Structure 1
Amino acid sequence: MEAPRKTLRTPEASMVDNEPGKKFEEIPFDEKEFPTSPISVEQLGSVSIEDSDSANVDEALQLVGKEQTAQFSDEFNRKLRRKLDLLIPPLCAAVYFTQFLDKTSLNYASIMGLPITGQNYNLVSMAFYLGFLFFEFPTVYLSQKTRVAKYLGVNIVLWGIILMLHAVGTSFGAFFALRFLLGMCESCVAPILILIISMFYKKNEQASRISWFYVMNGLTQVFGGFVAYGISFSDNPHIAPFKIIYLFLGGLAIIVGISVLIWLPDSPVRAHFLTQEERIAALERVRNDQGGVANKTIKRKQIIEAFTDIRTWLIVLTTLMTSIPNGGLSNFSNLIVRSFGYTSKQTLILSTPGGVIAALMTLFCGWYSDRKNERMVPIMIALVPSIVGAAMLIGLNNSGEKGPLLFATYLIGAYGSSLSTVYAYNASNTSGHTKKSTVNAMTLLTFSLGNIIGTEIFLPKDAPAYIPGKIAIMILLTVQLGISLLLRWINLRLNKKKVVQIEELKRSRRWTENDVQKERERHAFMDLTDKENIYFVYTA
């Protein structure tokens, strides 16, 4: 008589009987049929997963084992994704809406009586990104050691308070210090939101979800323009219009921060709005992506790998190419539009359609990125209108053609969605929690550095046309087209190499496709980097 076959189940999963109608089932497991020896470092650049301790592996193993033991129907997974979509992207969008609005508040204040002008205005603009730059690496590693959503919520409340204090300060020193602190607090936003999206969503869902919160960059331009327009009519002798802006936006940030503290989950393991069964399903949904969920141990080896990966530096370069234009335009766009001959009030309203175009481009690129499983192509699509817009602003300078010049400012903002796709690229193409945190930190550090440089490409001596700054934007975005093509080629080449390695492994160990899938499942939550894990597939 044949001996009974073993089954693998996690303690938590075994709490629910495998009755008809349940969403998961036990999978038979025979130790003789499935080899359990680890893939060697020499063969695959991988690490042993047999001797991993709890500090080295992903926290997802608290709920699921090394191999998939629970199966869920497509309908169950669709309902789960809808449940996630109703909470996580809206909260992320609220955070990004608040952050971008608060960051660009200086742009609105600049034409609403702000007492800081000339080169001092450039320096105050720069102060935000100096704080961002100074605190990016510390904040990313602090967030890894703590509960990420709670850490994010505390920072939002703090920057809301700091923003409201802008209404008190009137001197250059006060504004510089407050903008520096604001940058420090806001530096954690993008890395944490990218991590949260990558925890809960599959690779072919990440770009669209990231676009759902990044679209706030464009929508805040519309919202902020109309709010600033309304406030600009204030004739209260006791409080200047720019102070009302700061008090209003600071209060809004505090409300959003409290909401994040209450409702945003730190990871699927800690998602209390999900049932135990749904948490397991959420983890199994992302298992094959090999990206992991969370690990509190900071690993020196993964930091070194991040710094020695050529793809990291190409992402740094592509981020720099868009951040320099962003640093200039986010602080000077209203001044540019006003230079066409419009009043301050007209400028606030006429700037809003640019936000609509930027929002639509972000949503399109996010949809296209997931639909076609591409990351670099959507970036290139977003860059072309911006290059055309910059060329129009240069060519039509002093023409007096208000309409075409205004349209050019709308086109030039399309580049903004490229950074959204860079975020999606990092989420989909980097594995190992410490490596992912490091790459995100490097991306955002470069973002802040580029914005610092960007505040200096629109110099007072070049006002009101700022031709050197517009030429710089056109050149930088053109260079980025080439960087994007190179990065895409490298990822496709790496994928081909991994396919060859897996085929060699199958032949040498006589594995079937089922054996390979089992090994892929066992690697998913071992907190391996994309280079260590042969089963990790890059998204072009």
Structure 2
Amino acid sequence: MSSVTEIRKSNELSEKASPTQEIYDEKQSYDAETSSVTDSSEADEALKLVGRERQTQFSDEYNRKLRRKLDRYIPTLCAAVYFTQFLDKTSLNYASIMGLPITGQHYNLVSLAFYLGFLVWEFPTVYISQKLRIAKYLGANIIIWGILLMLHAVSASFGAFFTLRFLLGMCESCVAPILILIISMFYKKDEQGTRVSWFYVMNGLTQVFGGFVAYGISFYSGNRIAPYKIIYILLGGLAILVGLAVLVWLPDSPVHARILTTEERIAAIERVRDDQGGTENKKWKKDQIIEAVTDVRTWLIALTTLMTSIPNGALSNFSNIIIRNFGYTSKQTLILSTPGGAVASLTTLLCGWYSDRKNERMLPIVFCLIPTIVGAAMLVGLNDSGKKGALLFATYIIGTFGSALASVYAYNASNTSGHTKKNTINAITLATFSLGNIIGTEIFQPKDAPSYIPGKIAILVLLTAQLFISMLLRWINLRLNKKKRAALAAEKERRGWSDADVQRERERNAFMDLTDKQNIFFVYTA
């Protein structure tokens, strides 16, 4: 792109030709892989701005400047949302050693309630979000869950806590699917892993932040309000502020991004054209749902998520209890738990960087699981050794597995096309996440306290098995890419296409809301 004037002139010519006519003048588009046709009236919303063929070229410098602007808003707000969500979700972990009167099996059930609400509402919330402006829907949910969190300070009964945690899970179930979609709309494939890590790193940072906040509150000696209630009031207020910020500044899609000029919206869409991932479509499509549920990779991703979510459900609610059982006081436990968050944060950033740098999604999962497997083995093997230092070290490195879910999010963003298919796979992924966490809350049984050896062994076995699933997924994607290249070469020869023709057809298919299987030009990320 040589100048802004050229862009505007090109847009003016496009408008004179009638946008509707230009975008939809060809009512059929060729699907090279399935030899079918796709009605372009059901295509991506990006066509409202850019049309099927690239009208403008933007310089590398212009695109870098635009990416920096996007980075100021999107990853920052996504990080704030994820920071708030994880802190709110794990607030029970802090409350458990700050005077929470709910203990034993009732504590396990209250832990489970969040993920039960999450599971029940996952598919409905994804369906609703596709029909609405997703950032606005997200902001409204955050404000509601902030109010629910503050209500935790009103009652200390098991029934009230169970209900509030269930509703909290319902509200928070929309977060990951929406954030994954937003990242996939605005960023290229080789940028998505890093941007996902920028918001997912909040999981580790909240462990540090929450530990210090809870430690400070633990010195409160008044009788007017229980310390654990202060936690809920503060975190609920923070969630409401983040929800308001999301409503004001987080864009719904490149087409509706108020933070961008019209020119920048066009550039944002053109930036991702070659990735073939599309942006947004408000119509649910039955054929894409069928493709999602019949794609073996969908269920391998679900299994991957399940394998890593069971340990998450256990450790996110019991990690402080485990450390305290080494022989530390509650105050010492709150401080000693924070390095684990720092280790998890560093692992997430490194895996995200490697993921984009090497165009890999599964190998980072393998890298982050190995320290957790070692840590779980240490917790089992050194259980009665009395070696507090070694046991603490094990609890710090055991948290590296959390980065696996960030890689799963990036995998879904980079390897799925077709808006309905994306939403379906994200919903299945997060439903499996909640199911795994439900199971996880039950693997540390009161009868196994204080060592919880069966639960620790379960973590060790699950994550060892997960190593093989990750490598299988990687092999499948590499094999699919080989088939795509062969099919494209055959189509090129059959039609007599030049390299320029192939590029033109690639650009014309980018925003037709084709799935990754339908689109012969789609390339998978291993």
User: TM-score range, shorter-chain basis?
Assistant: over 0.9
Deviation at 1:10, TM superposition (A): 10
Letter in 2 for 1:453: I
Deviation at 1:317, TM superposition (A): 0.3
Q: 1:69 matched to which residue of 2?
A: 55
Contact 1:394 1:470 in 2 (8 A): yes
SS at match of 1:48: strand
Deviation at 1:39, TM superposition (A): 3.0
Which structure's residues are more often helix, by fraction? 2
Q: How does 1:315-330 map to 2 (within 5 A)?
A: 315-330=301-316
In structure 2, list runs of 5 or more residues that go unmatched. Answer: 1-5, 15-21
Contact 2:325 2:450 in 1 (8 A): yes
CA deviations over 1:18-53 (Å, ceiling 9, x no partner): xxxxxxxxxxx9xxxxx998435xx6126424x421
CA deviations over 1:131-167 (Å, ceiling 9, x no partner): 0000000001100000000000000000000000000
Q: 1:508 matched to which residue of 2?
A: 494
2:211 is aligned, of 225, 248, 252, to 225
Whether 2:34 is the aligned partner of 1:48: answer no
Distance 1:12 1:229, change over 3 A: farther
Q: 2:221 matched to which residue of 1?
A: 235
2 CA distance for matches of 1:73 and 1:408? 49
Contact 2:27 2:40 in 1 (8 A): no
Please, what TM-score do these two structures have when normalized by structure 2?
0.95
Deviation at 1:12, TM superposition (A): 9.0
Contact 2:7 2:56 in 1 (8 A): no
Letter in 2 for 1:205: E
Whether 2:345 is the aligned partner of 1:348: answer no
Whether 2:134 is the aligned partner of 1:143: answer no
2 CA distance for matches of 1:418 and 1:12? 47
Please, what TM-score do these two structures have when normalized by structure 1?
0.93
SS at match of 1:120: helix
CA deviations over 1:52-72 (Å, ceiling 9, x no partner): 21xx10000010010111100
1:338 is aligned, of 303, 313, 324, to 324
SS at match of 2:219: coil
1 CA distance for matches of 2:310 and 2:386? 27
1 CA distance for matches of 2:43 and 2:9? 18
CA deviations over 1:322-372 (Å, ceiling 9, x no partner): 000000000000000001000000000000000000000000000000000
Contact 2:416 2:515 in 1 (8 A): yes
1 CA distance for matches of 2:446 and 2:354? 40
Contact 2:7 2:263 in 1 (8 A): no
2:362 is aligned, of 376, 382, 389, to 376
Letter in 1 for 2:119: L
Contact 2:281 2:513 in 1 (8 A): yes
1:189 is aligned, of 158, 172, 175, to 175
CA deviations over 1:391-418 (Å, ceiling 9, x no partner): 0000000110000000000010000000
Deviation at 1:75, TM superposition (A): 0.4
Contact 2:348 2:406 in 1 (8 A): yes
- RMSD between aligned residues: 1.6
Letter in 1 for 2:319: S
Whether 2:110 is the aligned partner of 1:113: answer no
Q: 2:373 matched to which residue of 1?
A: 387
Distance 1:47 1:70, change over 3 A: farther
CA deviations over 1:190-243 (Å, ceiling 9, x no partner): 000000000000000000000000000000000000000000111121100000
In structure 1, list runs of 5 or more residues that go unmatched. Answer: 1-8, 18-28, 30-34
2 CA distance for matches of 1:10 and 1:431? 28
2 CA distance for matches of 1:509 and 1:211? 42
1:15 is aligned, of 12, 17, 23, to 12
Contact 2:343 2:399 in 1 (8 A): yes
Whether 2:150 is the aligned partner of 1:164: answer yes
Q: Percent identity?
A: 74
Q: 1:292 matched to which residue of 2?
A: 278
1:527 is aligned, of 510, 513, 525, to 513
2:295 is aligned, of 309, 324, 343, to 309
Q: How does 1:168-179 map to 2 (within 5 A)?
A: 168-179=154-165
Letter in 1 for 2:33: L
Distance 1:185 1:396, change over 3 A: same
SS at match of 1:273: coil
